[in-house]
A and B are shown apart, each in its own frame.
Chain A
């Protein structure tokens, strides 16, 4: 059973460029969340997709956008890259909780995409 897979693993971009990162969730999971982890920090929530819609969003500018496809895979797009966007971008998947009264299942994370902006 494949876990969460992300591509590419490493990426170097120039300031001002655009980047697209990809994520395939764990089998049986339909919710995908994206996190940004700066060096020496904990992951920060960017947004979450469920049923192909953005359901929750963290404190990130509109330069960060995403998409979820019918097969539950997801993309994270970042426009007009800044040096400060250099980080490890983590994708997490979890099963939806439809029909349950209380949430809280664990999220499964991919190995991340290391983005360096120069």
Chain B
């Protein structure tokens, strides 16, 4: 069975600080996808990043960066120079890869509430 653990329930930072959100996952699949989603108070889940299990290269996209380490089953997400608008609940999610047909289901962690104070 798949499982995603986000140990940090809440994080509070002051604007312009860097913040890292932790994610640890469990799966028996050799091929899988990892995602980060953001959920503002409006409720809609907003896609941020995706990484497949074959690619451990860490990247930076604007103020976002991620650190994928297969050896420790971790997929951490960093926001650089945080802003008040970054305040939201952040979810890490895991999906199997499958051939053809539809996407497989997403397994979510419980989320981390990030509050960025001015």
Q: Give A contacts to B, CB under 8 Å.
A: 31, 33, 35, 40-45, 48, 50, 55-56, 58, 88, 90, 92, 94, 96-112, 114
Contact = CB atoms under 8 A, between A and B. Distances in A.
Main secondary structure of the interface of A (DSSP, over half): loop
B60 interface: no
Rank and list the top 9 A-B pairs by shortest CB-CB distance, nearest first. Answer: A42-B108, A109-B45, A104-B33, A50-B102, A45-B105, A111-B44, A106-B47, A31-B102, A112-B43
Interface stretch (B12-20, B62-70, B92-100): B92-100
Contacts of A105: 103
Main secondary structure of the interface of B (DSSP, over half): loop
Interface in B102-118: 102-111
A98 B99 CA distance: 8
27 contacts: A31-B102, A35-B106, A41-B111, A42-B91, A42-B93, A42-B108, A42-B111, A44-B108, A45-B105, A50-B102, A88-B43, A94-B102, A97-B98, A98-B100, A98-B101, A100-B100, A102-B99, A103-B99, A103-B102, A103-B104, A105-B103, A106-B50, A107-B47, A108-B47, A109-B37, A109-B44, A111-B42
Nearest to B105: A45
B31 interface: yes
A35 B4 CA distance: 16
